[in-house]
């Protein structure tokens, strides 16, 4: 099992909280898409012995692309990789791009999963985030998309300082009303060098409250459970058979190749990332050079990676797997750290697996770092 991630580095405008790599100028779009197709060809040997089960268009805003542009990229994938008969193909999309005509086109294409960046169903939240769409567009696109796509996930952001608990509950209620079968939900986070970080530093935007974010998170967990969602990863909630296959492959340590500027790749023993600069990326690819930095993973790195991703999921981490892949020293280390968090009721431990509790889920990154072997 392996996946391909394709980064489309263009957006209509910059969301205040976003630190992903993108450009609001489409001047180099055609040249960039040519480079992305060429990089796919240059890197085909990296996944020559595995089947491609998932293809994910991320960004940026991939829904800015025309169907013809998407199909050209998919054709290159099919011609250069071994793709299973019915791969999961996801397209990230913004509501303002999803007209009824565009949705119908996508539904007739190989795209079989939409990831729609709703974030909130309230205009005041969307304006504060500097989203390109309005609440009515979010509602309208979902009304249409759910008629043509069975597999839809939406993004929602919680912990917004101006978002009351009543508004957060209403966001969830509206989402449930559309019958979507997957929700990815994230706390608003202040990333360095973003507009949000600048506004908070200047005092023109209220600071983020971890207590409010935790309260929103707890409601998110309880309300999705009532609706039959499974909380299968810290930020992801899916109905049975509607988990993200692509993201699950990340969390389970499968190989994947990231194509496009800033995209990351992983092959179990090393990770790499492309340069986050459109002009340099294009120039390098045109010269048939891969504009990437490679990090070889030590045994400690591989163990830390396994713990970090595993503890975020419903499956947790396996002591038998740690014994098989890393040896007795790592099993003893894992048990030692686990005993500390067991006392605090942040994890549970069975004969083989270690999982975070409801109390531990919101603190998952900190718990994982305690397990790290350095």
> Which tens digits make up the pLDDT trace of 4-43?
999 999 999 989 899 899 999 999 999 999 999 999 999 9
Q: What is the pLDDT of residue 1?
A: 82
Closest CA to 9 of 198, 28, 82, 168: 28
pLDDT band at residue 174 under the 50/70/90 scheme: very high
∠ Cα 295 299 303 (to 5°): 100
Helices (H) and strands (E) in the chain, counts: 15, 15
Strands 236-238 and 182-187, sheet pairing:
antiparallel
Strand duo 255-259 + 236-238: pairing: unpaired
At 136 the pLDDT is 97
3-state secondary structure 95-125: HHHCCHHHHHHHHCCCCCEEEEEEECCCHHH
**67, two tokens:** 């169907």
Q: 282-290: long-range contacts at Cβ-Cβ below 8 A with a sequence spacing of 24 or more? A: 282/28, 282/31, 282/32, 282/35, 285/35, 285/38, 285/39, 285/42, 286/35, 286/38, 288/38, 288/42, 290/39, 290/42, 290/43
Distance CA(110)–CA(84), nearest Å, equals: 13
Whether residue 27 contacts residue 77, with contact meaning beta carbons closer than 8 Å, is answered with no
Amino acid 369: pLDDT: 96
Sign of the CA dihedral running 159, 164, 165, 170: negative
Question: Are 17 and 194 contacting, i.e. CB atoms less than 8 angstroms apart?
Answer: yes
Give all domains of the chain, ordered by start, each with its CATH number.
2-249 (3.80.30.20), 298-374 (1.10.10.920)
| Positive or negative: CA dihedral 62, 67, 73, 75 | positive
pLDDT at 259 over 90: yes
* Least confident residue range of 36-40, 98-102, 192-196, 325-329: 192-196
| Residue 213 scores a pLDDT above 90 | yes
95 and 116 in contact (C-beta within 8 Å)?
A: yes
pLDDT in tens, 294-353: 999 999 999 999 999 999 999 999 999 999 999 999 999 999 999 999 999 999 999 889
In the prediction, which pLDDT does 361 show?
87
Mean pLDDT across the chain: 95
Give the pTM. 0.95
Which of 122, 120, 141, 142 lies closest to 17 in space, CA to CA? Answer: 120
The tokens of 185 are what? 């939900």
DSSP 132: S
Q: Assess contact for 263 and 7: CB atoms under 8 A.
A: yes
* pLDDT for residue 359 is more than 90: no
């Amino acid at each position: 099992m392996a996946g391909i991630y394709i980064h489309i580095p263009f957006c209509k405008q910059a969301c205040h909280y976003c630190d992903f790599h993108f450009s609001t100028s489409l001047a180099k779009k055609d040249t960039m898409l040519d480079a992305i197709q060429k990089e796919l060809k240059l890197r085909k040997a990296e996944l020559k012995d595995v089947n491609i089960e998932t293809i994910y268009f991320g960004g940026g805003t991939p829904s800015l692309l025309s169907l013809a542009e998407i199909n050209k990229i998919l054709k290159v994938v099919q011609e250069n990789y071994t793709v299973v008969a019915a791969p999961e193909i996801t397209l990230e999309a913004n509501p303002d791009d999803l007209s009824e005509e565009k949705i119908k086109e996508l539904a007739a294409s190989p795209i079989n999963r939409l990831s729609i960046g709703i974030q909130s169903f309230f205009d005041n939240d969307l304006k504060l985030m500097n989203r390109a769409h309005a609440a009515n567009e979010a509602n309208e696109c979902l009304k249409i998309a759910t008629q043509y796509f069975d597999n839809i996930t939406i993004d929602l952001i919680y912990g917004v300082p101006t978002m009351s608990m009543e508004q957060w509950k209403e966001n969830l209620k509206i989402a449930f009303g559309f019958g979507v079968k997957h929700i990815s939900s994230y706390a608003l986070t202040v990333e360095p060098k973003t507009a949000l970080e600048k506004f908070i530093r200047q005092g023109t935007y209220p600071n983020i409250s971890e207590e409010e974010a935790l309260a929103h998170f707890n409601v998110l967990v309880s309300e999705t459970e009532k609706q039959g969602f499974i909380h299968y990863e810290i930020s992801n909630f899916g109905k049975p058979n509607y988990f993200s296959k692509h993201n699950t492959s990340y969390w389970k340590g499968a190989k994947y190749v990231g194509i496009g500027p800033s995209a990351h790749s992983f092959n179990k023993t090393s990770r790499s990332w492309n340069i986050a600069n459109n002009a340099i990326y294009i120039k390098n690819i045109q010269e048939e050079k891969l504009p990437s930095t490679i990090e070889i993973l030590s045994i400690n790195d591989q163990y830390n990676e396994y713990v970090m991703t595993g503890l975020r999921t419903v499956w947790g981490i396996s002591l038998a797997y740690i014994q098989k892949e890393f040896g007795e020293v790592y099993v003893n280390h894992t048990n030692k750290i686990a005993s500390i968090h067991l006392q605090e009721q942040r994890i549970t431990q069975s004969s083989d697996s270690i999982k975070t509790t409801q109390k531990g889920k919101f603190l998952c990154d900190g718990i994982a770092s305690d397990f790290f072997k350095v």
